[in-house]
Every structure is written in C-alpha cells, then in structure tokens.
Chain A
Amino acid sequence: MKPQMKFLPVYASVAVLLLSACAQLQSGADPVVVRAEQITASAYDTMETFKKYEFDNRATLEALNPKIETYANVIRRNGKRWLQTARSETMAYKNNRTSENKANMNTAIAVLQEAIHQIGLYMAQAGASH
C-alpha cells in the first residue's frame, strides 16, 4: 500500500512539469493569454479530479487525513467562483490589453495556481500519512 500511495506526489509533480512546458505558439498568439487559458483549463481538470477522488474515497481518506475533505470543501465552495473570475479577467484583457487588465488577469490566475499547488500538497499528504 505505502509504495503505491507514494506515487501520488510523483504524478502531481509530473503534472506541474507538464503544465510548465509550453508549446510553440502560433504567430500572433499572446503567450500571457495562452498560459492563462492553459492554467484555467488545468485548474478545472485538477479541481474536478480532486473533488471526485475525495468523494469516491471519503471514508478512507478521512481516516488518513481529515484535511483532505476540508480542502475539497474549500474547492467546492470557491472553485467555481475562482474559475469564473479567471475567465472574466482573461476576457477583459483579451478585449483591452492594458497593463491594469493584465495585472488583474495574472492575479486571478495566481489564485488558480495556488489551488493546484494546494491540491498537490493534500494529495501528497494522503500518500505520506500512513
């Protein structure tokens, strides 16, 4: 069991590495926007995966580490709003590429990056807590 669960942080690390690997962009594409959209999509996928994993294994994970359920609830309460904020700020920047709009978009994206990071930590704790 323990070696299997120890793979969880490994996969999370791989995911982070993949996220940081940028594709060659098409001509005219703004790398800041592309990265914001990549992170938005990945944050959605990460949140959905984490919530479902916690739901499917709640009793077991609660015994291993109750903080996993607590953070899954944080995502349930805030994740949709965080994603919608990122989308609206990204659209605002795409429609009017000012430094202020760029800063607002980056702030919203940083919230998503932190959520991805926290989910990775909690998944790692699940692997380390038994």
Chain B
Amino acid sequence: MSPQLIIAAIDGIIALMGLVTKISDNAKQDHEWTKEEEQAVDAKIAQIGTAPWDQDTGK
C-alpha cells in the first residue's frame, strides 16, 4: 500500500462526499429555475474549460 494510494483513496472519499451533498441539494429543488438561477447555471457552464483540470491529456 503506497502513500499515493492512500491519498487517492482519501481524496476520492472526500470528493464523493462533497458530490453527494451537492446532489442532495439539487434534489431539493421544488420549482422551475428563475431567470436569475438560469443565468447563474449558464455562467458556471460557460466557465468550463478554464480550470487546470479541464486540460485534455490527449489520451
């Protein structure tokens, strides 16, 4: 068992716990998005491609 594997495992658990929280919040939506909510989501989507983890490795 390497330290890298332990780090990856812990990182994965933390990431997935955060994701579960976000999806749980999404599931609580009880209305159609307002214009403001639509714009906020569209703005987040528009930002995709700018983060370091968005870089395609070509594989």
Contacts and interface: CB of A to CB of B under 8 A. Distances in A.
A49 B18 contact: yes
Contacts of B18: 49
Interface residues of B, number: 45
Q: Is the interface of B mostly helix, strand, loop or mixed?
A: helix
Contacts of B45: 44, 80, 83-84, 87
B30 A23 contact: yes
Given A26-B31, A37-B29, A76 B11 contact: no
A21 B24 CA distance: 9
Interface of B: 1-2, 4-13, 15-20, 22-24, 26-33, 38, 41-42, 44-45, 48-49, 51-59
B29 A45 contact: no
Q: Is the interface of A mostly helix, strand, loop or mixed?
A: helix
Interface residues of A, number: 61
